[in-house]
């Protein structure tokens, strides 16, 4: 459920993939997503307030932190859980995927996906996440999710020898 | 040997690592380095014009390209060789390592190291590289090289199961 606090933090976002009408990118911010699983295999997901889609927790790198610290901070902020980074499952840097925000920023996709281990905390929502849920792989299809996010989950579940590079 | 063209493109750079007197970072640009080896195991290195050190070829990501395209472009620009990206050998995002440029930019380290395969081209220098050389691992010690660059080479030569995350 959306709260007043959520609404204050709300900022609209639209994704464009291979779309000739997409605005030109004017920004690149290295970002992360985290694949966190419970013992039963279910995956930690959030219902995002910025685009109303389900997604892996994650967000943009900030000056002053390492990329592993970005993963830990974003997962804690968006889900309430504490994690440790384990490995990289892929990079997603398609220049033909851009995200247009209400403030005029048009960010080119630049995301690194990490597998991370749950070490503590408990679920809570945030201004960026109206729901936090553990989802079984077989239930992913029912959720409204961007294809690029589905792909990152798929690559992580494949347990590849080496990270996907895209 | 430095040429007139090299001099025009010259921009000084100083690295600070864990140095309390370092200027505060004001920029993050995702960057890459490439580890390219010949059949005999020697590694492709350049003598950099910006800091007069030996290094793996590489550089900053530009809007409009994927990260693999950054690797291919930078290796071609700095060495004359054509490569294909194979895998990620590590990330290097220590917030206490910053690079101060003459124009006031203070860039926080944010580098992804890739193993790449030689597929063509031939050696030539550039405004960023006054020498291009294949160096045997046992000869690395003799070259003047930043410790953070040595570490990336070391990790790549270790053939780890998973990328180093730092």
- pTM (predicted TM-score): 0.90
pLDDT tens-digit series, residues B81-110: 999 999 999 999 999 999 999 999 999 999
pLDDT tens-digit series, residues A13-69: 889 999 999 999 999 999 999 999 999 999 999 999 988 999 999 999 999 999 999
pLDDT at site A11: 61
Q: Is the CB of residue B157 less than 8 Å away from at least one CB of chain A? A: no
- At residue B10, the 3 state secondary structure works out as coil
Report the complex ipTM: 0.89
Order of all β-strands in the sheet with A31-36: A58-60, A31-36, A111-121, A81-92, A164-165
Phi and psi based region of residue B58 (left: phi greater than 0; alpha: psi -120 to 50; beta: remaining): left
Mutation for A interface: B29, B63, B159, most A CBs within 10 A: B63
**Residues of chain A neighbouring B68 (CB-CB closer than 8 A):** 93, 165-166
- Among residues A131, A125, A87, A91, which one has the least CA distance to residue A109? A91
Order of all β-strands in the sheet with B43-48: B54-55, B43-48, B129-135
The neighbouring-strand residues paired with B47 are: B54, B131
pLDDT tens-digit series, residues A132-157: 999 999 999 999 999 999 999 999 99
Ordered domains of chain B (ranges, CATH): 4-153 (3.90.79.10)
Q: Is the CB of residue A81 less than 8 Å away from at least one CB of chain B? A: no
Q: Is the CB of residue A32 less than 8 Å away from at least one CB of chain B? A: no
């Amino acid at each position: 459920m959306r709260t007043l606090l959520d609404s204050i933090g709300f900022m609209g976002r639209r994704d464009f993939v291979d779309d000739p009408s997409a605005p030109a990118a004017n920004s690149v911010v290295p970002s992360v997503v985290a694949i966190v699983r419970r013992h039963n295999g279910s995956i930690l997901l959030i219902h995002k307030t910025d685009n109303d889609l389900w997604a892996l927790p994650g967000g943009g790198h900030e000056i002053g932190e390492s990329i592993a610290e970005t993963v830990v901070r974003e997962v804690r902020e968006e889900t309430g859980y504490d994690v440790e980074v384990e490995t990289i499952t892929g990079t997603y840097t398609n220049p033909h995927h851009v995200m247009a925000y209400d403030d005029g920023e048009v960010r080119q996709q630049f995301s690194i996906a990490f597998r991370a281990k749950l070490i503590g905390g408990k679920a809570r929502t945030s201004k960026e996440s109206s729901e936090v849920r553990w989802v079984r792989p077989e239930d992913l299809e029912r959720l409204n999710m961007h294809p690029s996010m589905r792909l990152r989950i798929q690559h992580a579940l494949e347990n590849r020898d080496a990270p996907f590079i895209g």
